[in-house]
Amino acid sequence: MQDKYNHLDVERSAQTHWTAADAYRVTEDSSKKKYYACSMLPYPSGKLHMGHVRNYTINDMLTRYLRMKGYNVLMPMGWDAFGLPAENAAMKNGVPPAQWTYDNIAYMKKQMQAMGLAIDWSREVATCDPSYYKWNQWLFLKMLDKGIAYRKTQVVNWDPVDQTVLANEQVIDGKGWRTGAVVEKREIPGYYLKITDYAEELLDSVSNKLPGWPERVKLMQENWIGKSEGVRFAFTHDIQGADGALIGDGKMYVFTTRADTIMGVTFCAVAPEHPLAIHAAASNPKLAAFIEECKSGGTTEAELATQEKKGERTGLSVTHPLTGEKVEVWVGNYVLMSYGDGAVMGVPAHDERDFEFAKKYKLPIQQVTDVPGKTYSLEAWADWYGDKQQGVAINSGKYNGLVFKAAVDAVAADLAAKGLGEKKTTWRLRDWGVSRQRYWGTPIPIIHCEEHGAVPVPEKDLPVVLPQDCVPDGSGNPLHKHEGFHAGVVCPVCGKPARRETDTMDTFVDSSWYYMRYCDPKNEDKMVAEGAAYWMPMDQYIGGIEHAILHLLYARFWTKVMRDLGLVKVDEPFTHLLTQGMVLNHLYSRRTEKGGKDYFWPHDVENVLDETGKVVGAKLK
Ligand code: ANZ
C-alpha cells in the first residue's frame, strides 16, 4: 500500500492488466442478461473537452457497476467523422479533410484510453470509413426502391460570388461568411426522405413507448412533429392569371387552428412565394421588390419567427366565406409557403403575429373571443393569449356564446355546408432533405445519364468511395472537378458515359444508426445481423441536450425504416435516455472581416484590463 495516490503508476498498471486481459471486449452471450450503454459518438474535432469527459464517465460508471452485478455490458465508441468543420480546417491549413480527421481520431482515442474507460475498442466505428458509409448508401437505395427516398427541388442558400451553396450556419446576417456577398435563395434538385409518412407513429410512440426518456425531451419531440388540428377553408375570389384562368380555381385556402375566431378576420396574408403574391407583383414594382427582399436572409423557421413582421399590400381582395365581406390580401414575411397553404386569415385580436402586423400597418383589430375573468387589452397581450380553451365567442353573430371547441365545430360545419372547407390535421414535420452540396460526406449513390436521368448505382458497385485527396478551397464542391471520381463512370441502364452525383448526405444520416453498427461492426455482408438482434434496443443512451430534437428524431425514424425493411425487430432504438447538461468553457472570439467568427482558447489569449482592473478585452498571446 502506498501512502500517496500516484495516478500515473496506478492507472498504468491497471490499464496494462485490462489490455492484456482484453477486459472490456464483449460477445453476444445468451446465457447472460445484456445491457447496452452507449454515449453519443463524438465529432473528432481535435481534443476531448470536459463535456466529453463527463459524458463518458457516466457511461463508464454505469458499465462497471452493471458488470459487477453480472450483466453482459456493451460500451462501444466511434467517430462522427464527416462534416463541415473538417472542410473548414482544410481551407485554413491546406490539409485534406481525411488526414485532419484521422489525425484527430488518433489523438482523441489516446486521450480516451488514458482515461481508462471500459470501452470495447474492437467495435470502433468511424463514419467516414467506406465499410461504414457503404451501408448508408445501401439503405438509401432500398429507400429509393420503396419510395421512402425521392428527388425534388429544394431551396438553398446561394453565394453568388463563390458560386456555391452555403449551410445555414455559413450565412451571417444574410451574407456569405467567406465572401460577404448577399446570399440568395435558389432552387436546386435534391433527395428527401419521407419522414412525414412516419409522423403519426413517431408521435404516438413518444407517449407510449418512451417511458425512460426525460419529459422535456419528449415534449420537444412532440412539438417538432407538431400535429395541429384545425380547419382548412377557402376565401373565394375572381382573380384571373395572365392566361385568363382563375388563380387556384377562385379559391384562396388557409389553415387555421382558431376557426372560432373567423368573425375577427380583418385581413389575409400570403407567403411571398404564393401564386396571388406573384400575380400581383407582375404589375406592382414595389411589391416585386418586397418579395425579392424576402428571398434574401434566413431560410429557417426560427429565423422567420423572430424577424420583424413586414408586409406589402397586393391590391387584391378575397371574399369572406361566412360574411361575404371583402377582405384585403397582403404579402407577409411571416407566412411560410411550406406550412398549411401558404396563406393565413389575419385575426389580429387573437394571434400574436397578426397582432404585430396589424399594429404596424394600422389595420383594424376586432375582438371576437372573451375569456371569463380576463380583461381584453391591447397592452397586456401576452396575458391574454394562450387561453383559447376557455374562450367564448363574442361579436360573432350566430356563434356568440359558444366555447372554443363548440365554436370551431359550428364554423367548420357551416364552411363544409358551403363546400368551402373541412377539419384538417396539419403537421409541422417536413420531409428530411438529405442532399448536401459538400465534399466531406457519404456520396449519394446516383449516376446522371443524359438519356436516363438520375439512375441508382447498382448494389454490387457499392460503396461509391469518396476520394480522400481533395482540399476544398471554399469555391464549391471539389468533387465537381475531381477527375478520378467521374472517370469511367457509365450509365447503369445504357452503358454510355455518365457523371456521378456530387452531392453527399447530411451527416445526420451517419449518426442515425451507428449504434446498431456497433453490434455487428465487422459484418461485410450485412448492415446489421445477429449482434443487433442481441443488443438492441439500447438500454441506456447518454448525450447532450443539444441533440434532443433532430438527432433523436432521425434515429427513431431510421430505426423504423430498418424495421419495416426487416433488418431489425425493434420499434424504438433507445429505451432510456439521459441528457447531461452542457459543460461551459470561457471562450474568446474575434469577428473576421467578412462578419464570421474565429474562436480562441483561454490559454492563447491575455486579458486586457482597465485602470480599475476590470476585464475590457483580450489579445492573442
Ligand atoms: C387564425 C388564427 C387566429 C390563428 C388565432 C391562430 C390564432 P400551429 O398551431 O403551429 O399549427 N398559419 C397557418 N398557416 C401558416 C403559414 N403558412 N405561415 C405562418 N402561419 C400560418 O399554427 C396554426 C396557425 O398558424 C393558424 O391558425 C394560422 O393562424 C397560422 F387567434 O389562423 B391561425
Query: What are the tens digits of pLDDT across the range 289-339?
Result: 999 988 776 655 666 667 889 999 999 999 999 999 999 999 999 999 989
Collect all residues with Cβ–Cβ distance below 8 Å to 120 and sequence separation of at least 6.
24, 25, 26, 74, 75, 76
Whole-angstrom distance, CA of residue 62 vs CA of residue 541? 11
- Provide mean pLDDT across the span 376-402: 80
Collect all residues with Cβ–Cβ distance below 8 Å to 407 and sequence separation of at least 6.
259, 260, 391, 393, 396, 399
State the first-to-last Cα distance of the chain, in angstroms, to the nearest integer.
45
CB of 268 shorter than 6 A to ligand 1: no
In 459-547 the beta strands, taken as DSSP E runs, fall at 499-500, 504-505, 538-544
Cell digits of residue 209? 413507448
CB atoms within 10 A of CB 223: 11
- Which pLDDT value is given to residue 381? 62
CB of 255 shorter than 6 A to ligand 1: yes
How are beta strands 72-74 and 34-39 bridged, if at all?
parallel
- Which pLDDT value is given to residue 290? 96
CB of 340 shorter than 6 A to ligand 1: yes
- Provide mean pLDDT across the span 515-521: 98
Least confidently predicted of 131-145, 227-241, 372-386, 540-554: 372-386
Query: What are the tens digits of pLDDT across the range 548-592?
Result: 999 999 999 999 999 999 999 999 999 999 998 777 778 888 887
- Provide mean pLDDT across the span 191-199: 96
Question: Which helix (DSSP H) or strand (DSSP E) does residue 428 occupy?
Answer: none
Q: What is the CA radius of gyration of the chain?
A: 28
Cell digits of residue 126? 468511424
The yes-or-no verdict on residue 382 having pLDDT over 60 is no
Query: What are the tens digits of pLDDT across the range 84-104?
Result: 889 988 888 889 999 999 999
- Which pLDDT value is given to residue 92? 86
Distance (angstroms) between ligand 1 centre and the Cα of 256 equals: 5
Q: Phi, psi at residue 208, to the nearest 5°?
A: -100, -30
The domain 7-127+508-579 having CATH identifier 3.40.50.620: the answer here is: yes
- Provide mean pLDDT across the span 439-451: 97
Instruction: Decide: 580 and 54 in contact? Cβ < 8 Å.
Output: yes
The yes-or-no verdict on residue 168 having pLDDT over 80 is no
The yes-or-no verdict on residue 388 having pLDDT over 80 is no
Probe residue for ligand 1, chosen from 235, 257, 310, 350 as the CB with the greatest number of ligand atoms within 8 Å:
257
- Which pLDDT value is given to residue 230? 96
CB of 345 shorter than 6 A to ligand 1: yes
CB of 261 shorter than 6 A to ligand 1: yes
Q: Phi, psi at residue 178, to the nearest 5°?
A: -95, -40
Distance (angstroms) between ligand 1 centre and the Cα of 123 equals: 48
Summary mean pLDDT of the chain: 93
Percent share of the chain, pLDDT over 70? 97
Least confidently predicted of 276-285, 345-354, 379-388: 379-388
Which 3 state secondary structure label does DSSP give 401?
A: coil
Distance (angstroms) between ligand 1 centre and the Cα of 3 equals: 70
Whole-angstrom distance, CA of residue 60 vs CA of residue 119? 8
Distance (angstroms) between ligand 1 centre and the Cα of 299 equals: 19
The yes-or-no verdict on residue 595 having pLDDT over 80 is no
Residue nearest to atom 27 of ligand 1 (CA): 256
CB of 347 shorter than 6 A to ligand 1: yes
- Which pLDDT value is given to residue 179? 83
Give the architecture-level CATH label for domain 138-194+432-505: Beta Complex (2.170)
Q: Phi, psi at residue 229, to the nearest 5°?
A: -100, 125
The yes-or-no verdict on residue 268 having pLDDT over 60 is yes
Give the architecture-level CATH label for domain 227-427: Alpha-Beta Complex (3.90)
Whole-angstrom distance, CA of residue 526 vs CA of residue 520? 9
| Amino acid letter for position 560 | K
Whole-angstrom distance, CA of residue 214 vs CA of residue 218? 6
Q: Which pLDDT band, with edges at 50, 70 and 90, does 390 fall under?
A: confident
| Strand partners for 590 | 598
* b/e per residue 405-424 (b: at least 16 CB within 10 A): eebbebbbebbeeeebbebb
Question: Which helix (DSSP H) or strand (DSSP E) does residue 453 occupy?
Answer: strand 453-456
The yes-or-no verdict on residue 385 having pLDDT over 80 is no
Q: Which pLDDT band, with edges at 50, 70 and 90, does 180 fall under?
A: confident
- Which pLDDT value is given to residue 193? 97
Which 3 state secondary structure label does DSSP give 164?
A: strand
Top-confidence range, 7-11, 92-96, 482-486: 482-486
Q: Which atom of ligand 1 is nearest to the CA of 265?
A: 1
pTM of the model: 0.86
Whole-angstrom distance, CA of residue 553 vs CA of residue 36? 20
The yes-or-no verdict on residue 57 having pLDDT over 70 is yes
Residue nearest to atom 9 of ligand 1 (CA): 228
- Provide mean pLDDT across the span 224-231: 95
So where are the chain's domains? Answer: 7-127+508-579, 138-194+432-505, 227-427, 588-620
- With cell 457523371, the residue in question is 499
